[in-house]
Structure 1
Amino acid sequence: MAKRLAVIGGGWAGCAAAVQAVDEGHDVVLFEMAEQLGGRARRVDVEGFPLDNGQHILIGACTEALRLMRLVGVRTTLDMLRTPLQLIFADGSGFFVEPGAPRSSLTRGVLRHADWSFSEKLSLLRAGAAWMATGFRCPPEWTVDRLCGSLAPRVRAELLDPLCVATLNTLPGEASAAVFLRVLKDGVFSAAGASDLLLPRTNLSTLFPEAAADWLLQAGATVRLSCRVDRVESEGVAWRVDGERYDAVVLAACAPEAARLAQRVAPDWAACAAALRFEPVITVYMRGDGARLPVPMLALHAGAEAPARFVFDHGQLDGPLGLLAFVVSAASPWAERGLDATAQAVLQQAERELGRLYRPPLRLVRTMLEARAALRCTPQLQRPGASIAQGLWAAGDYIEGPYPATLEGAVRSGVHAARLVLA
């Protein structure tokens, strides 16, 4: 029997929950307090360009996100550039995985690395074999620093540390080794193509939330923008959202907002959600005449005075020519310095590492801070569960699960909540 479902929050988790529920034949009302859907992965307009509030990528292992994109009509093979996993630096050095079976491809990638010594390569091969032998498990209290202690410093600096910060948005000294191993297992070692990089050729709102909204409206669902929910109350086996009756509710808002709405009905769950800590991401957009990277995404040498770890060439991703996006992950120390200081440090870093690739100067377009970009993924972190109360469920990239705060994690949580509600 069809149910009437309220989904509160129109980020990727909320859109996923709404699409999944409608696809199974239920009546859905989607609430979003902002003027547009997308949450922390949305479009912003800068100087007439449709840019993102922060640079995001997906990988081949993001199977649920790709499934829902296709369901709502996104042309995933055209709207994203798919390349094998590569962490290439401006001087041409770096790590590259050829297509094929993951273990053999990774081994070939390590052995063919031109700049690592044999002992550096051996340290990584031995560590990978040890992780596989344990089923990609480790003591829950381990950090990524502890996990990677046997690796050669150069291997860590050029491969493992960038992967850790990019996927967990947490520095290796604080990041959960258990979660990182799960990311490596599913995203690198699981199947051919799982580690492929999927670089959006369009802004994030177009990539899923706007397509989801169009699909939902065509299917008869209701989408309410600029609509902040004040109260969620139980009524027997049903629920009321600002007085309107629903059979069930999915709280897909950000953690602080979900905690506020759940406080009256589930104070323990709300306290757990409110206690979570998040890490910011800073994205610095710059533009230069003739600026073009050798590949659409380059790795950068981050350090004490070099904030960015990656740079993306939007000119190669169907965007404006010469537009570069520099990403500063796990950015708390730089956020404390201020956005102007961060932008100047990134500009100096770009001149050092990329100066030969463009005619100076680069012009600062905009610096964006997403203050709660992703959950600070520390060891043994207590995350709230999907079940809040009977008929009241939660979705979001911060909900308990095996993955860090990623787009795929958000989508999976939304699909899971919808299925739990409708079971």
Structure 2
Amino acid sequence: MTAPRRVAVVGAGWAGLAAAVQLVQRGAQVSVFEMARRPGGRARQADGAAQGFDNGQHILIGAYSATLGLMRQVGADPDALLLRQPLALVDPAGRGLRLPPGPPLPAFTRAVLGASPWPLASRLALLSAAGGWLARRFRCPADWTVQRLCGHLPPVVLAELIDPLCVAALNTPMAEASAAVFLRVLRDALFSGRGSADLLLPRAPLSALLPDPAWQWLAGRGAALHTGRRVASVQAVGAGWQVDGDRFDAMVLACSATEAARLAAAVNPAWARCAAGLRYEPIATAWLRDTTLTAREPMVALPPGPLAPAQFAFDLGRLHRDPAMQGIWAFVASSAAPWLADGQAACGQAMLAQARQAFPGHFRGADAQVLLHTAAERRATFACTPALDRPAMRIAPAIMAAGDHVDGPYPATLEGAVRSGIAAADACMTPN
């Protein structure tokens, strides 16, 4: 009998957790090193945040098959932890695009034809464009932006559908975002199968969705788990790797691109330069209180405009079972760099003003009592631009990278992170 393969996983975000679980499943002896005090990375309950807020609002969709499978594997029940409902991109008055249940193509066609108050010509123009994308198998030149792909569409379609979808999925402005990646997201979300476009909205803190159950699952299967520990160095030793003096047969760098570049600089300088060269886009979230507001949907698409930083608002009281969340709304501003230029507090005030404009008569009272908390993830996702050079999974023999920034078909999403972690784990268990 041979000894189990010893593998280090550096980073315990969703990619690192996916890698660690997959490695354990394949019989490896796993050690996880996380420099934060708890697992989850950018999708977890924030440390010390007022009222237990997450470090930002995240959503999943029905097409996230790897993420949903991983949740079930570690004992987290998606049916209990996520509210599943057909995609609805509707404004505070309930107007907009609603996908009915059923096969993807007929459902999308019915949703577009029923979208109000869009003019009929605008609806037909969108259907014509979508038909062209389908005929071309959702492919376009790698150097196209979403603006170039969709710029011919009517302004109402751009403002109320394409732009909010683009910044929600890619966290990159339409004029800079990769059309090729955008089409891949549309293909998998809207046209890959029944229920693929369903919204899956968290009904519990993000840590309960995967980080905490996965951590407990790993601990119960003998993985060595280290928090509050930043890896100082990685060195080659024979056919394996040494992490701060401890030897391993293989390693997964599932930390941020910046951290991975630091650790890989002496191993593969070209890979490290690629990882360090990524540009980032921020996401800001403001939590507001109004116990009198009831919307038609738990997720509301906000009217666009020059004074509107947030694209979506979430009724957390309707989603969460925790009584402390009743009356609390999360307003989310993707691609929020212009709004954060004057600071996080100013961005929060801008979203408060937007909330009062979007929901007349609500979110009134003293600002300090209504605006409960503001958070900004300055490096939330990489800027998903055309023909972007993303770092490869393989750094060197027996050392792999994992994360939503690693080269792949998806933008920076939870699903992209999970799939990347699983792929990196499998590569570590395959003889070089």
Offset, 1:326? 0.3
Cα deviation code 1:12-69 (max 9, x no counterpart): 1000000111011111000000101111111026675221101000000000000000
Aligned match for 1:412, one of 419, 423, 431: 419
Post-superposition offset of 1:151:
1.1
Q: 1:367 aligned to 2:374?
A: yes
| Cα distance in structure 2, aligned partners of 1:138 and 1:323 | 41
User: How far apart are 1:203 and its partner, in Å?
Assistant: 1.0
Q: Which residue of 2 aligns with 1:260?
A: 262
SS of 2:52 mapped into structure 1 = strand
Q: Is the 8 A contact 2:310 2:333 kept in 1?
A: yes
Q: Is the 8 A contact 2:12 2:41 kept in 1?
A: yes
After superposition, the C-alpha distances for 1:115-160 in whole angstroms (9 at most, x for unaligned) are 1111101110000000001110001111000000221110111111
Task: Read off the aligned partner of 2:388 and give its amino acid letter.
Answer: L
3-state DSSP of counterpart to 1:383: coil
Contact conserved, 1:32 with 1:225, CA < 8 A, in 2?
yes
In the alignment, is the contact (CA less than 8 A) between 1:7 and 1:17 conserved in 2? Answer: yes
TM-score by length of structure 1 reads 0.98
Q: Tell me if the contact between 1:9 and 1:31 (Cα under 8 Å) persists in the aligned partners.
A: yes
1:155 and 2:157 correspond? yes
| TM superposition shift of 1:340 | 1.8
Residue of structure 1 equivalent to 2:397: 390
C-alpha change, 1:47 and 1:337, in structure 2 (3 Å) is: closer
Q: Equivalences for 1:90-105 in 2 at 5 Å?
A: 90-105=92-107
| Whole-angstrom distance in 2 between the partners of 1:189 and 1:75 | 25
Number of the residue aligned with 1:378: 385
1:342 and 2:347 aligned: yes
| Aligned residues of 1:277 and 1:375 also touching (Cα < 8 A) | yes
Q: Could you say what secondary structure the match of 2:297 adopts?
A: coil
- Where 1:123 maps in the other structure, the secondary structure is helix
Segments of structure 2 that go 5 or more residues without pairing to the other structure are none
Give the whole-Å Cα distance in 2 for the aligned partners of 1:114 and 1:7.
Answer: 49
Question: 1:201 aligns to what?
Answer: 203
Q: CA deviation at 1:310?
A: 0.3
1:410 Cα deviation (Å)? 0.4
Determine helix, strand or coil for the equivalent of 2:423: helix
Does the CA contact (< 8 Å) of 2:288 and 2:330 recur in 1? yes
- Would you say the 8 A contact 1:290–1:359 is kept in 2? no
Q: Deviations over 1:213-268 (max 9, x none)?
A: 00000011111000110011011111100010100000000000000000011100
Aligned residues: 423
User: Would the aligned equivalents of 1:262 and 1:270 in 2 still touch at CA under 8 Å?
Assistant: yes
The secondary structure found in structure 2 opposite 1:135 is coil
Does the 8 Å contact 1:289/1:360 carry over to 2?
no
Q: Tell me the TM-score normalised to structure 2 length.
A: 0.96
1:360, distance to aligned residue in structure 2 (A): 4.9
2:183 to 171, 181, 184: 181
Identity among equivalent pairs (%): 51
Q: Which one-letter code corresponds to 1:334 in the other structure? A: W
Comparing 153-162 with 337-346, which one deviates more in the overlay?
337-346
SS in 2 for 1:285: strand
Could you tell me which residue of structure 2 aligns to residue 57 of structure 1?
59
Q: Distance in 2 between matches of 1:339 and 1:48?
A: 16
Matching of residue 191 in structure 1 with residue 193 in structure 2: yes
